[in-house]
Structure 1
Amino acid sequence: MSISENSQKMTLRIWLALFVLALSTFNIVTTELAPIGLLTPMANALATSESYIGMTVSLYAWVGALSALVASVFLGAVGKKNLLIALSIVLAVSNGLAASAETFESLMLARVIGAVAHGAFWSIIGVSAASIVPSNYIGVATSIVFGGVSVASVFGVPISNYIGMHIGWRSAFMVMSGLSVLSLVGIASLVPQISEKSSVGIGAIKAVFKSSSLIKIYFATILTISAHFTAFTYIEPMLNSLTHISEEFVPVLLLVFGVAGIAGNVITALFIDKHLKTIAVLSVLFAASMLVLIGEFHVQWYQAHIGTALAIWGATASCIFVALQTWVLRLASEQAFPASALYVAFFNLAIGIGASLGAWLVASYNVSFLYIFAGVAMALSLVFITIVPMNFENVQRTQEA
């Protein structure tokens, strides 16, 4: 991975640029997952079922996966800063259209438009962040920018749920449209021009698949993210179904989940450079155990018990998201752009699989079975994570250069 030669030290502008990119990742992932916290009000307003609204998450993820692959082939040589600005505009328009949707079909159209921007965005964000910092700050930059993903994955849903309950689900999408505009202004003002040229074309994709280590991480990603989103997509109906949990307390539990995710991301940023594999293994193990416990015992648990389980799940999920992306960037080295784009494609494919699988499990069995299934699937990903070697030779050479 080539790093900007002009960046010899971290300046205030670089730090601010990283946080602007983190805000962008927070907003785009919150946009993707917003329906999870708004299933019931959206279904009621559009006269459809919760499972149909859940499918808007699946479709968004699948279109995003395809968009990431297309971007990896055709957009590697395009100026990264201008592309980020353009994609922020598209996302703002998509959220505005979703807020004004009067039918399920118009909502799906708005979501597809946003998903196209989503996939392209993720195919370039990792390389962009690494390109504006000194080589010895790549891990920190990755943790900050992809921390937006973690925070959105565990914190964006309760925010959208709260807005939906007190103002209306349409207002939640309007807030996300406003955040897109804010991100656009921040990128235009603070992010420097990125001159790095990335590998493009089918050949670059084929080169990535020659790495057995990357393939193992991709398999682990599919299993882990599918398992997480199988359970996470239906967290709001699950909490609402609990005998000892009042409807007013659901946003509080989602908030606990989110705060724990932020804490997990901070911990990851502090230790990820030296203990990446340990963080990945322990995170998956803890998350799997929590999902199994929730599935097995949640009906009998009270608020404190559920809150504790959700906190552990939220913290470990946050660690997993950052660890897997960082692992891909380290392993890929000079192939970071196509490798990252493929990771995004598999990540979004897994979200779609998880959301769809969750809908089927809820319809065919019950919520408890869904969470047990998710925990077992996540535990299986440990097989792939534990056999990936940790010899990041290319990365070490880059950092020593």
Structure 2
Amino acid sequence: MPLALLALAVGAFAIGTTEFVIMGLLPEVATDLGVPVPTAGYLISAYALGVVVGAPLLTALSTRLPRKTVLLVFMGLFLAGNLATVLAPSFGSVFASRVLAGLPHGAYLGVGSLVAAHIAGPGRRATGVSRMFLGLTVANIVGVPAGTFLGQAMGWRAAFLVVVGIALLAMAGIAAFVPRQPSPPGTGLRHEVRELGRSQVVLGLVTAVFGFAGVFAVYSYVSPMMTELAGMSASGVPVVLALFGTGMTLGSLVIGPLADRALRPTIYGALASLAVVLVVFTVTVHNPWTAAVTVLVLGAVGFGVATPLQVLVMNKAAQAPTMAATSNHSAFNLANAAGAWLGGVGIGAGLGYSSPAAIGAVLAVVGLGIAVVAGLLDRPGRERGPSARASEAEAPEYSTLS
């Protein structure tokens, strides 16, 4: 992996670790801050709120800046938010620090995707994006379990202090190895918003919401599903979570080259496979071994949706892709919230702990339907205004992917 892509992946690793490690440290956080565990859970929502708000806001403020500079600023803001979490004395201040840490999440990953695609070169852009996203997937294998262990042994703030160190390392790598890329000529906030409003971009974002909501409907409740249905002990749950992260990593390695060859068919295949795996999970979840294997596959096909959808919205907003690329991560976090809520609705309605998988399958099918409709509408002669023609003329490396 080129050192520039590795530096971007280290930043993604820090982001993935801070987003998910708090889920395993909620009891410690609650005890230290003197609040109930459910109240401490609001800190997860605080981070997601920061992501949803920060992606479009920070992008709007940075459209004319060089991308390397933007990446350094975003990672610096992320570092500051996590350092504030380490130093925050009360629940309210920790809540505010988690919002601050979440603000640059989507903006960094969106701009980083554009830079990774540029570094990888024509014909390998999806592969470049998937390599940067490896940082997110490896975080679920290494960063989150290690951070949870460290937080339990040395206090929950220690985990976030390590994230600060990783963010500093990422900034050093970006400064040293990422090539300078000026902002595309003629771009600005108005141009970015216009490209974001194109129908294919909007359909791509909506596909991301439904497809990823299917994943998070299950992932949010995988712990009680394993203990209540599969018969695992609580000590086995971290192993299952690591299997999910392993699946995400394998999926990321495979999906990039596939998306480079055939973008839309890869999206269709990933969403269809996700729906099938979720249906199968309603059966296999009742045995610990089959449940563990299915979680591994779920991680692979679930995260397999992320890279091709990221590249799709970049392609369809090729003249000014920054806002679209960052907004895709807002869509993923909306999917996180919606999937968790809908899965909880199924359980609360008395449908059992297997119901999130069935609900997730329906969401994946809806996402597949939207993706197919988008593909049918994206025929020669449709949505071919001056902006689209200019995009294809100026960015042929993108048009070959769509």
Task: Name the TM-score class by shorter chain.
Answer: 0.7 to 0.9
Equivalent residue in structure 2 for 1:65, among 52, 61, 68: 52
2:189 maps to which of 191, 201, 221: 201
Residues 2-401 of structure 1: pairs in structure 2 closer than 5 A: 15-101=2-88, 103-152=90-139, 156-165=143-152, 167-197=154-184, 199-210=187-198, 212-242=199-229, 244-295=231-282, 298=285, 300-302=286-288, 304-358=289-343, 365=350, 366-389=352-375, 398-399=396-397
Structure 1, gaps ≥5 residues long: 1-11
Change (3 A) 1:154 1:208: farther
SS of structure 1 residue aligned to 2:65: coil
Task: Give the secondary structure class of the aligned counterpart of 1:188.
Answer: helix
On the 8 A contact 1:58/1:351 being kept in 2, the answer is no
Identity in percent: 24
Query: Quick one: higher RCO (CA 8 Å, sep 6+), 1 or 2?
Result: 1
Compared CA separation, residues 161 and 286, structure 1 to 2 (3 A): farther
For residues 263 and 143 of structure 2, the distance between their equivalents in structure 1, rounded to whole angstroms, comes to: 25
Whether the 8 Å CA contact 2:124–2:260 is kept in 1: the answer is: no
Give the deviation of 1:374 after TM superposition. 2.2
Q: Supply the distance in 1 between the matched residues of 2:262 and 2:141 (Cα, whole angstroms).
A: 23
More moved, 159-168 vs 281-290: 159-168
Separation in 2 of the partners of 1:58 and 1:27?
18
Residue deviations 1:277-300 (CA, integer Å, cap 9, x gap) = 3332222223233334434552x3
**CA distance in 1 between partners of 2:38 and 2:346 (Å):** 11
TM-score, reference length from structure 2: 0.84
Whole-Å separation in 2 of the counterparts to 1:275 and 1:32: 31
Q: Alpha-carbon deviations, 1:318-346, whole Å to 9, x = none?
A: 21111211121222222312221332332
Runs of 5+ in structure 2 lacking a partner? Answer: 381-388
Which residue pairs with 2:383 in the alignment? none
Report the TM-score when normalising by structure 1: 0.84
Shift in alpha-carbon separation, 1:168–1:244, aligned structure 2, 3 A: farther
Specify whether residues 89 and 362 from structure 1 end up closer, same or farther in structure 2 by C-alpha distance, changes over 3 A only. Answer: farther
Give, in whole Å, the separation in 2 of the partners of 1:317 and 1:379: 13
The CA deviation at 1:258 is 1.4
Q: Greater shift after overlay, 85-94 or 352-361?
A: 352-361
> Post-superposition shift, 1:98?
2.5
How far off is 1:128 after superposition?
2.5
